[in-house]
């Protein structure tokens, strides 16, 4: 089959259209004919040589997809049938014409959701659900600060927090992006290039702070993230795009009863991912069915143009997901 392959780590030019072996499903897997996949920051990091796939996982990029089931293993539950429209969380392999997924990481695509657009839902929504709602126990009516409001994670956070009756504060790198985030439902949007976000959060919350901070920046944001938290608040670090080292004020951690949580999704065992998917569908499945939760899509490019899609993501002007259609 055809897929996007790499000639080694490097800039987007290392991505090309090539031939790879056909994937074969195991007893608990389904084989999906891919209609679309999505570009995530993890794909960019893997392309650059910083984020290798877990052992045994395809080295083809792509952490989510949408498509139709074309084959299923003997141990796949009867609820998944050949021909079903599905979207799936993947550990890799999405930038291809076909991909194998464990049945527990596969979700049905509702009739009201376009199949191509559905490719932008699994990775970001499950990431937000795992980290904000499961690990950080986001309270109903609570407050979340998420960095990168214009990203897929940021736009998904706004929707899930809104559904939970909460307030979602975001940071973004331009006034234009901040305005777009407000249109999409952010409670407030902070331009991190012109404002100190911790000071602004203090003003917006009348000195109380937020219940949860979801951070993909890492070290440089450690101190202001903790300063943005309410007493008993939780910081969840899911990325280190700004660097791995930071200064931690242990006194503030103790006195204000704060928690710092590190988390990844990709390398978790299939059973853990299946439990995350079940929990997500139980809580937010009705909102997906009703169309209240759906991917915010910036643009759709052909899969062959994966290199250009990576350039779009790295330029940082997009809002929402960049999709690749097969």
* Residue in this structure with the two tokens 């790499």, named with its chain if needed: 6
Reading the block at residue 203, the tokens are 């003003």
**Percent of the chain residues topping a pLDDT of 70:** 100
Averaged pLDDT for residues 179-192: 97
Task: Tell the CATH superfamily of the 124-262 domain.
Answer: NAD(P)-binding Rossmann-like Domain (3.40.50.720)
Contact 20, 3 (CB under 8 A): yes
Dihedral of the alpha carbons of 95, 43, 103, 75, in degrees to the nearest 10: 80
The neighbouring-strand residues paired with 237 are 215, 262
Q: Produce one character per residue of 215-252: b if its CB has 16 or more CB atoms within 10 Å, e if not.
A: bbbbeebbebbbbbbbeebbbbbbbbebeeebeeeeee
Averaged pLDDT for residues 72-78: 97
Residue-level pLDDT at 221: 96
Confidence of residue 129 (pLDDT cuts 50, 70, 90): very high
Domains 2-121+294-325 and 124-262 share a fold: no
**Percent of the chain residues topping a pLDDT of 90:** 96
Cα 142–chain centre separation: 21
Helices (H), 49-165: 122-128, 152-163
Confidence of residue 7 (pLDDT cuts 50, 70, 90): confident
pTM over 0.95: yes
Domains of the chain, by residue range, sit at 2-121+294-325, 124-262
CATH architecture of 2-121+294-325: Alpha-Beta Complex (3.90)
């Amino acid at each position: 089959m055809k897929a996007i392959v790499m000639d080694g780590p490097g800039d987007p030019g290392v991505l090309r259209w090539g031939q790879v072996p056909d994937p074969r499903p195991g007893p608990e897997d389904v084989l999906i004919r891919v209609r679309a996949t999505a570009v995530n920051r993890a794909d960019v990091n893997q392309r650059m040589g910083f984020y290798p796939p877990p052992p045994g996982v395809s080295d083809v990029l792509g952490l989510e997809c949408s498509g139709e089931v074309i084959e299923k293993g003997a141990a796949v539950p009867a609820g998944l049938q050949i021909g079903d429209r599905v979207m799936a969380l993947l550990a890799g392999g999405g930038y291809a014409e076909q991909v194998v997924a464990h049945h527990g990481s596969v979700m049905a695509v509702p009739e009201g959701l376009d199949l191509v657009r559905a490719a932008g839902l699994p990775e970001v929504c499950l990431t937000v659900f795992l980290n904000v709602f499961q690990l950080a126990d986001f309270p109903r009516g609570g407050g979340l600060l998420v960095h990168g409001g214009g990203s897929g994670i940021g736009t998904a956070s706004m929707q899930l927090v809104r559904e939970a009756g909460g307030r979602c504060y975001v940071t973004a790198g331009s006034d234009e992006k901040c305005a777009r985030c407000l249109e999409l439902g952010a409670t407030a949007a902070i331009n991190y290039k012109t404002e100190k976000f911790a000071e602004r959060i203090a003003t917006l919350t009348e000195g109380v702070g937020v219940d949860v901070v979801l951070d993909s920046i890492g070290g440089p944001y450690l101190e202001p993230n903790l300063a943005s938290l309410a007493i008993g608040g939780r910081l969840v670090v899911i990325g280190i795009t700004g660097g791995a080292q930071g200064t931690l004020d242990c006194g503030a951690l103790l006195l204000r009863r704060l928690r710092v949580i590190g988390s990844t999704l990709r390398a978790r065992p299939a059973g853990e991912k299946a439990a995350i998917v079940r929990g997500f569908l139980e809580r937010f499945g009705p909102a997906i069915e009703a169309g209240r939760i759906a991917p915010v899509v910036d643009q759709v490019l052909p899969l062959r143009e994966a290199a250009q899609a990576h350039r779009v993501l790295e330029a940082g002007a997009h809002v929402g997901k960049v999709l690749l259609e097969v």
